[in-house]
Amino acid sequence: MTSPEAHGPEAHGPAAQGSTPFALADRILDHLAALCVLVAGVSLVCLIALFGWLVFGRYVLNDTPTWVEQMSLLLVVYITFLGAAAGVHHGTHLSIDFIREAFTGIPRQAMRYLADLTVLAFGGFMAWQGWLLVVTNSRRLIPMLGMAESWRAAPLAICGALMALFAAFHILRRLAGVERVGE
């Protein structure tokens, strides 16, 4: 597993200095991942505020806001899936890599490609199935919120597409011999 400090802006090696064709794509994908983290962070702050409102409404006003539970569930979905997409980009997901790291050369690289291909396939499948849920649930409403159920399925499609994009870029970068520090 790589250390979190190996994933800062300076961790991109030559790609970050603009010496490769991957520099622009790296910056764009870094901004996409940062946007995911930002939206997830703001959603987390909103979730905390919602639970504060829930407690205040229940124990002080003696009037429990019924919509808070559904909104909280919606926010948790966004926090989880956007954070997962950013984790794929930064390589910070929990992984068991001691077997891969015990090997050298071709077996180690093959395992890295296999891991990225698996994430690419899973992300593509998740995006496709998430999009089907968005389309099929566009007329169903989330109870208490009056919003389409599609809003609850949208993070699946978004996260799946981003996971596939990030994994594909890891593969392309590795094929070109331009890897980030810590890969």
Give per-residue pLDDT as tens, 36-64: 999 999 999 999 999 999 999 888 888 88
Q: What is the DSSP letter of 100?
A: H
What pLDDT sits at residue 165? Answer: 96
Q: How far apart are CA 37 and CA 82, in angstroms?
A: 7
Do the beta carbons of residue 32 and residue 50 sit within 8 Å?
no
Q: pTM for the whole thing?
A: 0.80
Can you give the pLDDT at residue 19? 59
Q: Please list the ranges in the chain whose pLDDT falls under 50.
A: 1-17, 181-182
In the chain, pLDDT over 70 holds for what percent of residues?
Answer: 86
Closest by CA to 73, choosing from 151, 163, 133, 162, is 151
